[in-house]
Amino acid sequence: MVPPDDTEDTPDREVASAAASPLVDLDLWLLFAVTLVGVGNVSSVSPAFPQVVEVFGISRAEVGWVVTAYSLPGVLSAPLAGIGADRLGRKRVLVPTLFVFGIAGGACALARSFPVLLGLRAAQGLAAAPLVGLAITIIGDRYEGTTRATAVGYNATALNVGTAAYPAIGGVLAAIAWYVPFALPLLALPVGAAVVWRLEAPAVDRQGEAERFGGYLRKVVGRLRDRRVDDCETAVYLGFWSSTSAFSYSSSGLFSRTFPSCSRPNLAPLPSRQGPCWPWRRYPAPS
């Protein structure tokens, strides 16, 4: 996302920069909430994978599509959301993505077939990919200098806390029922309502908004050629790939050892562990 020119008159940003600490700005805490709901939607559902295998009658290899269906659409939606945020405004893009993320993600808990679950995860992933980037972009618009660096650092702390906490939260929720971790994205709905009501995002650069699309793309490509941008992109993609791979390949076995009653194939599913006994699913009789 291309930041507005430094010469643009943004009094909101000057007021924010003058504050002693960015933490006194309630809008910043709201952006932290956006970051928190946008991360961890792989690690939070991974502990439920053994139960998903049993409920939908799929293999352990096929359950990996729950991660792929969520992650892959972001390759397309993230740059498109960036273009929309530059030309339409940050808030006009952030609000719809939060609501789509929350509704599609929460609906995963009601999925009655594996293809439906994958389709809802894809819709959720389309909306999830731009969330953290939009939050950081709005922080960059609101602050300057060392205050901006401090605010971005706090946001990174919120992201890391969420990344570390979601696996444990997902494990506890998966012990209740397989579908409960999939309901976590519903938290995005009150956050989206708060963004509509409270968040004040600086206006987009009107000169850039009127700019021809070809010129806009040339400017974006020029900035992407910056070596520093390449290094940051490489670090982000490597971190994302390593984390999602680790969770998708290891969580199933780890959770099976921790909660063996949730994944023993010779037992009928227990309502307290496996969720409701769906009428369209045939379960093995107890031995």
Angle, in degrees to the nearest 10, between helices 74-88 and 90-107: 150
For 26-264, give the CATH class: mainly alpha
Binned at pLDDT 50, 70 and 90, residue 215 comes out as: low
Query: Between 242 and 76, where is the model more confident?
Result: 76
What is the maximum alpha-carbon separation in the chain? 74
**What's residue 224's pLDDT?**
63
Which two structure tokens, joined as six digits, stand for 170? 């997902």
**What's residue 275's pLDDT?**
45
Region of 4 on the Ramachandran plot (φ > 0 left; ψ -120 to 50 alpha; else beta): beta
**What's residue 16's pLDDT?**
45
The percent of residues in the chain predicted with pLDDT above 70, rounded, is 63
Residue 99 has pLDDT above 80, yes or no: yes
Which H or E element spans position 274?
helix 271-274
**What's residue 176's pLDDT?**
93
- Provide mean pLDDT across the span 252-270: 42
- Dist CA 55 CA 63 (whole Å): 11
* Nearest alpha carbon to residue 193 among 69, 59, 41, 37: 37
Q: For 137-191, how does the pLDDT look when each residue is reduced to its tens digit (9 = 90+)?
A: 899 888 888 888 899 999 999 999 988 899 999 999 999 999 999 999 999 999 9
The string of DSSP codes covering 174-216 is HTT-TTSGGGGGGGHHHHHHHHHHH--PPPP-HHHHTS-HHHH
Residue 210 has pLDDT above 80, yes or no: no
- Dist CA 59 CA 179 (whole Å): 18
Binned at pLDDT 50, 70 and 90, residue 279 comes out as: very low
Whether 166 and 44 have beta carbons less than 8 Å apart is answered as: yes
Q: Which amino acid, residue 42?
A: V
Residue 71 has pLDDT above 50, yes or no: yes
Which two structure tokens, joined as six digits, stand for 58? 């799929």
**What's residue 261's pLDDT?**
41
**What's residue 255's pLDDT?**
44
Contacts of 59 (CB under 8 A, 6+ apart): 53
Residue 252 has pLDDT above 70, yes or no: no
> What mean pLDDT value characterizes the chain?
76
Whether 146 and 126 have beta carbons less than 8 Å apart is answered as: no
Residue with tokens 């809008």: 27
Whether 88 and 81 have beta carbons less than 8 Å apart is answered as: no
Regarding pTM above 0.75, the answer is: no
The percent of residues in the chain predicted with pLDDT above 90, rounded, is 34
CB burial of residue 60 (10 Å; 0-12, 13-18, 19+): middle
- Dist CA 147 CA 140 (whole Å): 10
Q: Which amino acid, residue 48?
A: A
**What's residue 40's pLDDT?**
82
Residue 113 has pLDDT above 50, yes or no: yes
Whether 84 and 93 have beta carbons less than 8 Å apart is answered as: yes
**What's residue 11's pLDDT?**
47
**What's residue 2's pLDDT?**
54
* Nearest alpha carbon to residue 184 among 101, 255, 264, 64: 101
- Dist CA 126 CA 220 (whole Å): 21
Q: For 220-239, how does the pLDDT look when each residue is reduced to its tens digit (9 = 90+)?
A: 666 666 666 556 656 655 55
Q: For 16-51, how does the pLDDT look when each residue is reduced to its tens digit (9 = 90+)?
A: 444 457 788 888 899 999 999 988 888 899 999 999
Q: Report the SS3 class of residue 70.
A: helix
